[in-house]
């Protein structure tokens, strides 16, 4: 593909609307590192805070994020429950055989999707495939934040840089790191804005503590050398993968007042919150503060009402199974813990 030789992707940024959603791309040229899993958890976390979210699947072959979203719609229909949904778009790969035509076609497809989503949403989450494609480069060039999940192993670190096995010194950055560096330079040159790069370790395990410590040291050294920020990652947990067929995440099942919630679920939800906080988005902090104070007011009003009026004994048996939305319901899965825990 001709784009492999050319690291620059010039999208006509003047053609995009003025009001822009914050765009995240989940990227890593290695397959199976947790891009789709992280994308879905971020989408639901933002939705549950009441933000409008657009999602784009660039992996039109696997369509994992799309299947996740479709499964969620099916759960809504079958279970007759209301679940927040993203505005989802799949961008198909161009059918044109000549690279030049295919790239022009994919630029247009990408631009159209961004136009549709950017003025109507607060956040756009783009899931990219685990290999180098022109659509993936377009996304990397037109994002504010790149999030790269990496499996917690030295094999996967290779996507960031070559590391000397004896000394753990960094021999050279990877092609992927160089591509991001060049996109950052190009972006600064085009419109003076910046691209933030965040790396999160995924599937962390407590079994091999020595490997974990070595990884921590090496990732920190790499972050200084090739310019990314490290975010807290997700541990290896069944709950991060078992809800795919229902299109749900741990945030949804914690929401439902489910009695079979385990300690691992609580810990998983905390990991999602910590990732959210590490993104340093002022609008998210503000929203959490507003929802928390609304929830407090609602609780106070309920307490006052129940202490001043007799309990409606006959009414409780007929209570609807799906509670009406309230500040508490809408955000509990994301904000119910005390502030210091959320910010941990
Ligand atoms: N923290 C985790 N705990 C348990 N399983 C996980 C975790 N993160 C991801 N997985 C599982 O690992 C597999 C790969 O994850 P995912 O599909 O998110 O990766 P990907 O980077 O999107 O892959 P691809 O490059 O093929 O698109 C999936 O089966 C997913 O359910
Ligand atoms: Mg994927």
pLDDT at 259: 64
pLDDT at 317: 34
Task: Find, among 136, 168, 164, 110, the residue nearest to 30 by Cα.
Answer: 136
| pLDDT value at 314 more than 50 | no
HSE of 46 in the Cβ direction (CA atoms, 13 Å)?
A: 26
Q: Average pLDDT, stretch 253-269?
A: 80
pLDDT at 8: 47
Task: Find, among 265, 287, 291, the residue nearest to 276 by Cα.
Answer: 287
Residue nearest to atom 13 of ligand 1 (CA): 32
| pLDDT value at 5 more than 60 | no
End-to-end CA separation in angstroms for the chain: 44
Q: 69-105 pLDDT, tens per residue?
A: 999 999 999 999 999 999 999 999 999 999 999 999 9
Q: 233-243 pLDDT, tens per residue?
A: 999 999 999 99
Tokens of 254: 């914690």
- Ligand 1 contact, 33 CB (< 6 A): yes
Q: Average pLDDT, stretch 246-273?
A: 86
Rounded to whole angstroms, how far apart are CA atoms 54 and 119? 10
- Ligand 1 contact, 64 CB (< 6 A): yes
Query: To the nearest whole percent, how much of the chain has pLDDT over 90?
Result: 60
| pLDDT value at 53 more than 60 | yes
**What pTM, to 2 d.p., does this model score?**
0.86
Nearest atom (ligand 1) to Cα of 203: 1
Tokens of 100: 């030049």
- Ligand 1 contact, 60 CB (< 6 A): no
| pLDDT value at 112 more than 70 | yes
What are the DSSP calls for 209-271, one per residue?
A: HHHHHHHHHHHHHHHHHHT-EEEEEEE--GGGTTTGGGT--HHHHHHTT-TT--HHHHHHHHH
pLDDT at 28: 96
């Amino acid at each position: 593909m001709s784009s492999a030789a050319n690291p620059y992707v010039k999208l006509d940024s003047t053609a995009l609307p003025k009001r822009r959603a914050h765009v995240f791309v989940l990227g890593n040229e290695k397959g199976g590192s947790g891009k789709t899993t992280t994308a879905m958890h971020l989408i639901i976390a933002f939705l549950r805070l009441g933000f409008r979210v657009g999602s784009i699947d660039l992996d039109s072959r696997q369509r994992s994020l799309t299947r996740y979203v479709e499964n969620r719609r099916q759960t809504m229909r079958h279970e007759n429950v209301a679940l927040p949904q993203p505005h989802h778009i799949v961008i198909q790969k161009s059918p044109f055989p000549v690279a030049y035509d295919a790239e022009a076609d994919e630029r247009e497809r990408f631009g159209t999707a961004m136009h549709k989503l950017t003025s109507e949403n607060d956040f756009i989450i783009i899931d990219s495939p685990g290999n180098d494609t022109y659509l993936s480069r377009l996304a990397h060039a037109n994002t504010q934040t790149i999030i790269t999940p990496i499996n917690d192993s030295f094999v996967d670190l290779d996507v960031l840089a070559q590391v000397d096995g004896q000394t753990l010194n960094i021999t050279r950055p990877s092609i992927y790191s160089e591509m991001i560096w060049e996109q950052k330079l190009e972006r600064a040159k085009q419109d003076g804005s910046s691209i933030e790069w965040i790396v999160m370790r995924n599937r962390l395990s407590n079994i091999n503590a020595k490997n974990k410590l070595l990884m921590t040291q090496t990732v920190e050294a790499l972050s200084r050398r090739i310019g990314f920020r490290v975010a807290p990652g997700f541990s290896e947990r069944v709950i991060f993968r078992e809800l795919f067929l229902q299109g749900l995440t741990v945030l949804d099942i914690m929401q439902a007042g489910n009695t079979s919630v385990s300690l691992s679920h609580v810990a998983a939800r905390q990991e999602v919150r910590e990732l959210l906080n590490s993104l340093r988005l002022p609008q998210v902090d503000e929203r959490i503060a507003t929802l928390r104070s609304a929830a407090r007011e609602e609780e106070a009003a309920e307490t006052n009402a129940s202490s001043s009026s007799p309990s409606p004994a006959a009414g409780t048996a007929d209570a609807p199974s799906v509670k009406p939305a309230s500040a508490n319901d809408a955000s509990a899965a994301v904000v119910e813990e005390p502030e210091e825990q959320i910010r941990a």
